[in-house]
Structure 1
């Protein structure tokens, strides 16, 4: 009777376990790949259902969300991460002691839609093989130590709607292929705080990008193709570069523009009066350029009844009018 009870009890435990054995093995292997893994992750154990730690698909009992944040795990990303083949969300965030390169094993994550390795000390190049993740929608690789060029292969991702490579040490130009993305539109493109150089591909102006941040690089030439009355862009930040173009010829997204920062460039010409129609505008900075002429007046802003102060316009060649000095 006792033997039967023990057998039934063990069967119930097995039945109660939701985590797929392959996923459990991969998670334990991931933990044990770090020298301090067993110490920091004692709850990841053979007798613990990994679906009680990570989100699992209720039908197939496979881990679909592997999110690890604010961890002091020390070492490189182990190949075992690629064994979580049903993963939809990979998030390794704020892990300052995570080093080394992104392993090629991640290409086995054929179902991943959210790929986030950010705020770590991961280094090496942005891997071109990330283009093999055909299901991915968001790639966040910000606040790392990545270097080298932006791989043009990323433009072939058919479902990508968000790309953030900001705050790394990337060099070279924005790939020409980024103006011909397979994905029809991007919610956000952030390449800020790198060492990118050269001109923006003209074709980038043909893309639908709702938020674009190219600030704090060494980009040059014309960026006027990012503007246009027919676009739906809400945020444009191209500050602290070497862009040089005639601002007078720019038209604005009057229905959608919320944030505009073109400061610290070599932009010349006048501020077009059409900007007054951008009633959603909440943040504006055109300072430290070579603009001239009278600042348009008569703002009718939905969220800023006071307009913009002088910090939005200072240090230009000959801008005048409120809130700066009167025009002569």
Structure 2
């Protein structure tokens, strides 16, 4: 039987031609030598059956690609007779069982892929040294990157615990660290509860993934009682305390991720017993102590990250390959430049507090220096114009007056409209402010001077409002803002200041007078004459100056002509006029109705 005839028999439903070497089929590629013997067979049609043992007759075959199908069952031992084979690809099928030892006879094999199946058991040593090999996503207990949910053919029900308590263990453990959702604890109900938990066909938990879920507190030792667990990922939480010693009993564990937490203490030497472990992530924690030499026993380890901790001592020689996985620690004797000058976590907290206090003190000293530096020109100029310098007395009124007169007059040409150029004078420690011929609106910061007792700004200000910070000048005794162009109402904050002498007359202030002014028992002068205030005078203020406003009430004289024609309010006159206009047609209509009724 020719090779093409054999393929017609093996794949009867795929229209393999008798002269298969020249035929073109979709997803099927056949190459032959000059004698018509098949040397390469690629068959990727999704075909579902057992692998055909009869392919052993294709003894000139160098490439056999049966990947991406649905082949079931075991790999035929007869494939070990294909001694010319250099490339064998059986990946992405549903193959089960073990890898036949007979495949060790394929001495020319350089490519062997069986990933994405359900193969288990052991792999012949000769196949583990092939240059291009892939055994991932199977059920090989001794290899990394296997399917955590597959049925391990080496694990029978007799090898597993008699009672499955995995769901109860997981439910209690996550509850202890503050997991917000209740997890079913009976039987294997947790297996279908959430993607965070995966189980095998026996209902044993194989994967536990709870990332970034706000877990807090210590991990319970009970998590070590998950016999079939292959993956644990609890990273990105706030878990504290040590790594449980019981994790050494997780004999099937392939990947452990506890990164980005607040775990303390040392790395348990028992982790070195996890012979199947391929990934270990403990970075970004507060771990201390030395690196256990037992980790050198992890022969399957592919990746380890313990960066950003406080691990000390030296790096075991057997872990030299993973040297970068221990950067940003306190390890000595490495060639990595990223080790830190180590301070233990408790000491680090104290150091941070000391550094914070030192920073506050530096800020205070710097502020004091700036204040003194800014006050220096003020003092020098004041000394120049007064025989009694500010350096001798902080309440030298004459020096203050001369200084402010000098500055405001010299600054006239440099001041833009609406800008009050007194902010740079540093007058916060003076108790009197008397400015003549200044320019611009009255600023708020004038009244936050804590010691200010007297303000005299009459005949100065253009059109502006009374600052809202007026009430902040709690020590103010005298204020004179008369003969200016102040507009708007008195601010509500004004009720808090206690100036005994208040002069706001000859302005354009409006609105009502705050009733709180009536409670100012210390007033000896209160003059709001020649403004536009309305409403009533608050009780307690009778006898002070309110002439020439728009105020109403008894015994008030010299108010503006707010009333029209003998005391009739204009609004009343308009209302009466409107009523008369409406009554005229009403009277006319009633008159017609009356006449019609009379004639009838």
Q: Which structure has more helix as a fraction of its residues?
A: 2
**Rg bigger for which structure?**
2
Q: Which structure has more strand as a fraction of its residues?
A: 1
Normalising by structure 2, report the TM-score. 0.28
Which structure has the higher relative contact order (CA within 8 Å, separation 6+)?
Answer: 1
